Structure 1
Amino acid sequence: MELQKRLPEIFEEFAEGRRNAFIKAKELKDKDIPLIGVFCTYFPQEIALAMGAATVSLCATSDETIADAEQDLPRNLCPLIKSSYGFAKTDKCPFFFFSDLIVGETTCDGKKKMYEYLSDFKPVHVMELPNSQSEVGLQLWKHEIIKLKSTLEEMFDAEISEDDIRKAITIKNNERKALKKFYELGKKEPVAMLGQDIFKVINGTTFSFDKEQIPKQMDELIEKINSEYETEKKYEAKPRILITGCPIGGAAEKVIKAIEDNGAYVVAFENCSVAKAVDELVDEENPDVYDALSRKYLSIGCSCMTPNHNRIKLLNKMIDDYRVDAVIDVILTACHTYSVETLSIKRFVNNEKNIPYMSVETDFSTNDIGQLNTRMAAFIEML
């Protein structure tokens, strides 16, 4: 990526990453490279990478196919689940079409039941995710990772060695370090870029099949941003917002826009779309690669875990590090675990961190954009 390009153009290139990846996915298939379709950050990508397979996030952030999904699924179901199923059923997701195997995890009841129907369209492997981050849960998750390895070896007639897994761990850790170094630019005050652009870049990298190139791309982009920042502080001081809660890719990005259109900046994303997935590394010194992978992935602070201490731990750190003025909790309609958890997050943010908190329930439609703008304007005015 050439540094002489203007930053807005570079950000848009990352935003186009998903569309460009459609073509690359077909190229992978033409080369007989296995493609694994996934939905969640709990998927241990190192296992697929060690086999030489590519991993891609499946289409699940638009209301385009929800009407089709509702012919089979309940209407009062999480839009992410309905979108996931709808794209599979209608064959409108190129990534799903080209995937040789779909891997899901039992993060919530809705998803694990949806996977049963998803297997009508593609081979599906479901990993049994523990309900808690206990030692017993850790052993179960380690067993599930080894089971995934065996499934891939059998399905693709391959051998995944521990040395290959160690190499993959290093590659993924380097990617995590690079992504974290980039989104930590949100700590700058005044801000160096909009939260919308931070999200475009991080989301765009999830559609990059060459994981070893991501650190170089991030270093070039960081250099460009820092260079412009030293010569021009183009963003005035405004309230600094941290977003937590459900994944917000695709249509749900309207929340970021509503915040920044109404007088604030999104400087940090605690949710699994950004920090939750990459904040911690896999321990490269652990001689047991499966134990190392289990500990890293099971540490993710998703609301499907009970109790969910790790979400509070990461929130606490990020609120301080990013000098946050308020927290906005984004909840997808009918996502019961995140919805129930809003009470504990509100108590923590209000009582422990002494800053304002607001929860926002939304879906993948555009029907609530006016309401979002009204609520954000009022909330930010209060700040």
Structure 2
Amino acid sequence: MELIKELPEVFEEFAEQRKNSFLGVKKLKEQGVPIVGAYCTYFPQEIAMAMGAATVGLCSTSDETIPEAERDLPKNLCPLIKSSYGFAKTDKCPFFYFSDVVVGETTCDGKKKMYEYMSEFKDVFLMELPNTQGEEALKLWKSEIIRFKEYLEKKFDVTITEDDIREAIKVNNAGRRSLRKLYEVMKHDPVPICGHDLFKVLYGSTFKFDRREIPAEVDALVEKIQKEYAEGKMLEKMPRILFTGCPVGGATEKVIQAIESNGAVVVTYENCTGAKSIDKLVDEENPDVYDALARRYLNIGCSVMTPNPNRLELLGRLIDEYKVDGVVEMTLQACHTYNVEAFSIRKFVNQEKGIPYLNVETDYSQADIGQLNTRIAAFIEML
């Protein structure tokens, strides 16, 4: 298998981005830049950006603080919630520590209750996310985005203009376009890079405080990958996997590693860190910026939505465009929405798309790595 020689250090830079941003967030704080932390892909980032704030994702991805979290939270709760709460409570997450406000959203029951406890030691702004995607839901979500804007204006004594929001929309759309170009390099067969390296860039880019920097960095990387591919540098041909399910990162990258160390390659990610958060742009032509933002964010196909046709639409498109041989879904223990929806995803993948599907349920410990490898190796063997 020939790996591209000059690229690994670039992927490692993106992989290290989260750690490097620990120092960056402190520096921003010292400069008086407001920091807004959030936990979800539904967070309308552009509103905070329009105020000149830096935004950062707060979902924790390690089991380090789970024992501390379990003093307050039940053991049979999703590890993402326990980890996030644990890092917040123990002040072990610099991003949470330096955040002036944390934005929550009413996605799942566990998170809603977590935000209640969290608000005892941090400013938490909770957005009422509808659990459907019709016109009435859109009205509610638009009013929540306006309420969030008014909250920021009052809290930080600023005025957020529609022109500021339009500018933030343009900046974020440019970043999404570039990241889309990056994951589209995986349409090549054989692929130019491994899926874990692709993930490092997608995940690392979420910790870039200046979103304006993303296009130049990512476009240069895409150009390099395409150039080297044209020169014949690529991986060998192997089964092509679509990765879907719960948010992935940190401890759960063990699933990506299990796929790629057993002879397959992840060609596309439907998860929050992948296509789900980059696929749709905000309509820059819509004169009503709040309507444009509400439509774009509400249309995300997350398992908290009932029904959830947008997830199936995106999955179907990715399966076709990336010539996928099999789908691996990762669900976290006690994540009820994704675990329940796994049944309809399996049915869709098997019956509508006619390809194999595997669901692996896991948590943030490393205890199940052997079992994961056994199950995933057998699945890939079958392909």
Q: Which TM-score bucket, shorter chain as reference?
A: over 0.9
Q: Give the structure 1 partner of residue 134 of structure 2.
A: 134
Q: Give the structure 1 partner of residue 12 of structure 2.
A: 12
1:280-359 alignment runs, 5 A limit: 280-359=280-359
1:147-162 alignment runs, 5 A limit: 147-162=147-162
Q: Give the structure 1 partner of residue 219 of structure 2.
A: 219
* TM-score normalised by length of structure 2: 0.98
- Contact persistence 1:59–1:93 (CA under 8 A): no
- Contact persistence 1:21–1:208 (CA under 8 A): yes
Alignment-mate amino acid for residue 227 of structure 1: K
- For residues 302 and 121 of structure 2, the distance between their equivalents in structure 1, rounded to whole angstroms, comes to 28
1:75-86 alignment runs, 5 A limit: 75-86=75-86
- Contact persistence 1:190–1:233 (CA under 8 A): no
- For residues 121 and 256 of structure 1, the distance between their equivalents in structure 2, rounded to whole angstroms, comes to 35
Q: Give the structure 2 partner of residue 102 of structure 1.
A: 102
Alignment-mate amino acid for residue 187 of structure 1: K
Q: After superposition, give the CA deviation of every residue in 1:83-123 in whole Å (9 maximum; x if it has no partner).
A: 11000111100001110000011110000011000112210
After TM superposition, give the deviation of residue 232 of structure 1 in Å. Answer: 2.8
Q: Give the structure 2 partner of residue 173 of structure 1.
A: 173
After TM superposition, give the deviation of residue 234 of structure 1 in Å. Answer: 3.5
After TM superposition, give the deviation of residue 325 of structure 1 in Å. Answer: 0.1
User: 3-state DSSP class of the match of 1:243?
Assistant: strand
- Contact persistence 1:59–1:87 (CA under 8 A): no
User: 3-state DSSP class of the match of 2:302?
Assistant: coil
Q: Give the structure 1 partner of residue 26 of structure 2.
A: 26
- Contact persistence 1:59–1:96 (CA under 8 A): no
Q: Give the structure 2 partner of residue 53 of structure 1.
A: 53
User: 3-state DSSP class of the match of 2:255?
Assistant: helix
After TM superposition, give the deviation of residue 248 of structure 1 in Å. Answer: 0.7
Structure 1 residue runs of 4 or more that deviate by more than 4 Å after TM superposition: none
User: 3-state DSSP class of the match of 1:147?
Assistant: helix
- For residues 126 and 337 of structure 2, the distance between their equivalents in structure 1, rounded to whole angstroms, comes to 20
User: 3-state DSSP class of the match of 2:141?
Assistant: helix
Alignment-mate amino acid for residue 354 of structure 1: G
Q: After superposition, give the CA deviation of every residue in 1:146-194 in whole Å (9 maximum; x if it has no partner).
A: 0000110000001000011001111111011011111111111100100
- Contact persistence 2:59–2:80 (CA under 8 A): no
Q: Give the structure 2 partner of residue 39 of structure 1.
A: 39
Once the two structures are aligned, what percentage of the paired residues are identical? Answer: 65
User: 3-state DSSP class of the match of 1:235?
Assistant: coil
Unaligned 5+ segments in structure 2 are: none
- For residues 234 and 198 of structure 1, the distance between their equivalents in structure 2, rounded to whole angstroms, comes to 14
Q: After superposition, give the CA deviation of every residue in 1:244-281 in whole Å (9 maximum; x if it has no partner).
A: 11001111011000000001000000111110011000
User: 3-state DSSP class of the match of 2:102?
Assistant: strand
User: 3-state DSSP class of the match of 1:67?
Assistant: helix
After TM superposition, give the deviation of residue 5 of structure 1 in Å. Answer: 8.8
Alignment-mate amino acid for residue 161 of structure 1: T
Q: Does 1:246 align with 2:254?
A: no
- For residues 121 and 189 of structure 1, the distance between their equivalents in structure 2, rounded to whole angstroms, comes to 51
User: 3-state DSSP class of the match of 2:133?
Assistant: coil
- For residues 202 and 121 of structure 1, the distance between their equivalents in structure 2, rounded to whole angstroms, comes to 31
- For residues 234 and 186 of structure 2, the distance between their equivalents in structure 1, rounded to whole angstroms, comes to 14
Aligned residues: 380
